[in-house]
Amino acid sequence: MGKAKAVATLKAPRRGTVYIKVEGTLFKGGGWQHAAYLAANAQSFSDRVFKLAQIGLSMPVSLFLGQGDPDLANRWIYAGLKGLSRDRIEVLTEEYLEKVLKEGLRRDAVDFFLKLRAEGHPMVFFSGALDGFIRPLLQRLQLGEELHSNRLEYKNDLATGRLLEPVMGGYAGLQSLLASAERSGADLAKAYAYGSEHGDFFLLRAVGHPCAVNPDLRLLRVARELNWPILEWD
């Protein structure tokens, strides 16, 4: 586990499915940074300003209207991408992916999950970021294919600003993930989950072996209260 500072003892998972929140765990930052990168590189300068402003507003929107559920903020962020072309989004996403691989990766986390994968653990990744960003990231890291993330809706190859259902990143998305797990007969009591934000709480509390990785303040508080293992990866 390299330089990880285990606040609580972490036992290597045995047999159970491993659920991993991608952003915050495998790399620093979240989906909103990716969205902001896209917005900051829109074709026209005025678009850049408006889109960035909209994405910037997602935090107060989430605080005041979201009632702790990041779902609304997530939808708000991606609404800011309305009008961007599929070409631009995909090309810029490739750029951003390179940036993350170069500067933002938590290498220790990647090594840890690669080891679990090599040991044959079923792994399910989930993310509130865009599929077009996260899926190639996982492929490049050779971490796995099962991913639940967000997909933008396009009309005439222009982003409508809407996300296709089920929208991940909020409670509803995690509920849908858990429902899918139950349908496939997964034993959540034996499952492990690694999350980084308070928004992941819904999933963490549903599995037998939750773990907070580089948690935000709210998740840190909850993890401490519930005596969950807490990992700090550089």
Partner 1 sequence: MPKLSIHRAYRGKHILLTGASGFLGKVWLSLMLDRIPEIEKIYVLIRRKRDTGAWERFEEIVATSYAFEPLHRRHGEALGAYLAERVEVVEGDVSLPDFGIDPEAAEDLTRKLDLIVHCAGLVDFEPDLREAVETNISGSLHAVDFAKRCQRAALVHVSTCYVVGDIREGMAPEALAPDYAPNGRPMDAEAEYEELLSFVKTASLKDSEWVDEARRRAAGYGWPNGYTYSKSLAESLIRKRAGDLKYSVVRPAVVESSMHYPFPGWNEGAQTCAPLSYLLGTWLRFFPINTRHVLDVIPVDYVCQAVTVAGAALMEGCASQVIQVGSSQRNPLRLDRMLELLNLAHRAHWRQSASPLERIFLSRWDSVAVSQDSPLGPESLRKTAAAVFEALRGLKERSPKAIHEYLNKALSSVNKAKWALVKTEKVVEVFAPFIYRTDFRFVTEALAKYQIEEEAFAAKPEDIDWRHYIMKVLEPGLRRWCYPVLEGKPVEKLSAPRGFRIPRGDRPGLRIAGRAR
Is residue 136 classed as helix, strand or coil in its secondary structure?
A: helix
**At 136, phi and psi to the nearest 5?**
-65, -30
**Where are any strands of DSSP class E within the chain?**
5-6, 18-21, 123-130, 147-150, 152-155, 158-163, 192-195, 209-213, 230-232
Binder to partner 1 among 88, 106, 121, 209 (CB under 8 A)?
A: 88
**b/e per residue 195-220 (b: at least 16 CB within 10 A):** bbbbbbbbbbebbebbbbbbbbeebb
Per-residue mark of binding to partner 1, 40-69 (x: CB under 8 A)? -x-xx-------------------------
Identify whether the C-beta of residue 161 lies closer than 8 Å to the C-beta of residue 151.
no
Segment interacting with partner 1, rule: CB under 8 A, options 54-62, 88-96, 128-136, 185-193: 88-96
Q: How far is the CB of 117 from partner 1 (least distance, A)?
A: 31
Q: How far is the CB of 103 from partner 1 (least distance, A)?
A: 15
Pairing of strands 158-163, 152-155: antiparallel
Residues 141-170 contacting partner 1, CB under 8 A: 157
Q: With respect to partner 1, which residue has the nearer C-beta, 92 or 116?
A: 92
91 binds partner 1 (CB under 8 A): yes
Segment interacting with partner 1, rule: CB under 8 A, options 23-31, 90-98, 159-167, 209-217: 90-98
Segment interacting with partner 1, rule: CB under 8 A, options 21-29, 53-61, 82-90, 114-122: 82-90
| Euclidean distance between CA atoms 143 and 65, whole angstroms | 36
User: What count of residues does the chain have?
Assistant: 234
Q: Which residues bind partner 1 (CB under 8 A)?
A: 41, 43-44, 85, 87-88, 90-91, 95, 157
